[in-house]
Structure 1
Amino acid sequence: MNIAFVTDSGTGKSKEYWAEQGIYSLPLQIEVNGHSFDEEENIMIPDVLNYLHANVPMKTSLPKLGEIEDLFESLKEKGYDTIFAVPICTGLSSTMNALEMAANMLGLEFIGVDCYTTAVVQGEMILTAKKMWESGHSIDEIVRMLNRIADSCDTILLVDDLNHLKQGGRLTPMAAALGGLLKIKPVLHLDMETEGRIDALAKVRTMSKAQDYVINRLKEIGV
């Protein structure tokens, strides 16, 4: 079995960074004013933050299907027969399904593990998978370890409003309903229990109280 390890820009790292780790990364898409950009390539995190502060509407989507197919074709030509992927979680994106479909079309075996979040956890999981494989661990052992990592993590979000998240359909119904309540600052989270969708963890009246809630929660779990 010759495995290519694949992730996406949800990790917050560039394609060049992952190439240095021997891992392949695909850019998620960010649409601004009708123009689509490759995340971490021609639109960077500071750009996204500037658009958010300026209340510029943005949409996100999975990597371009043609780019996924091109990558997998090149991997097959290099002698890889298996794709091991840890993309952004299925609760936020259909990237996993697109990767699996592309692999199947090319006759490549596909192994995908849901990180139930994104960012740091996603990056750590794909890196762990590659290191374990190189150390002689079996696929079953690797998948069990990655699931343990995912199960141990909880991503907490503090936002001023839910407009962007509601428009993208990435909230659970309960969390979305909070967006209509006045003077409520919901503390949001996503993890394995929420199946990678953003759910309400708590609701408070001010951002300072939301911050206090998060700090106290971290203390409770011993962070």
Structure 2
Amino acid sequence: MTTTLITGANRSLGLETARRLLEAGHTVYAGMRDPASGDAVRRLGAQVVTLDVTDEESVHAAMAALPELDVLVNNAGVLGTSYDVEDLDAAAMTAVLDTNVTGIVRVTQAALPLLRRSTNPVIVNVASGVGWPRWLTDPEHVEVNVKAVPYAASKAAVIALTVQYAKNLPQMRVNVTDPGYTATDFNGHSGPQTVTEGTDATVALAQVGPDGPTGEFHDRHGRIAF
């Protein structure tokens, strides 16, 4: 049995990722800041774990509650409160980076001892095409319309840190995904993709074997070339 921890698993992409991996036979631990918000994922059969990615004690307590771990899905993220340079300040930037980037590092570092005991350890980080500079400047991509600095910068950092983790952990499969413009709470459900389509890449990479890809960026259509 594959044991999987998903951060931010109480709604949207995290909830759908939990549903699909449970369906695939994984034992899923659903991490979230407020366990009272976990009724939907509990009904699916996941075990809820209190996990605030911005709180070191919370992260370590969550890891202590896991009997084992094979797959870590770093899904938790925030959009932030700054949408252009007119409302941007250092506090807004720091808040987004603390969840979207440093939060991944907190969770991953705490999870490494458990993952190292697995025969097939896998890490999947959820980023965004908004973190891909080529798409931010391409009129053919919807990402070109985004002006927010913190969110885009944080997701670019997630892509880079994934590559670096993959180089440092050759015995693990470490990859990063772009869900695409998906209808979620983040965008008022305006995205054209369903949450199932938005989790295709994450679910696929969460199930790779020891000979699977590592250090790669994928969307639902496959690998995005660096």
TM-score (norm 1): 0.35
More strand by share: 1
Query: Which structure: larger Rg?
Result: 1
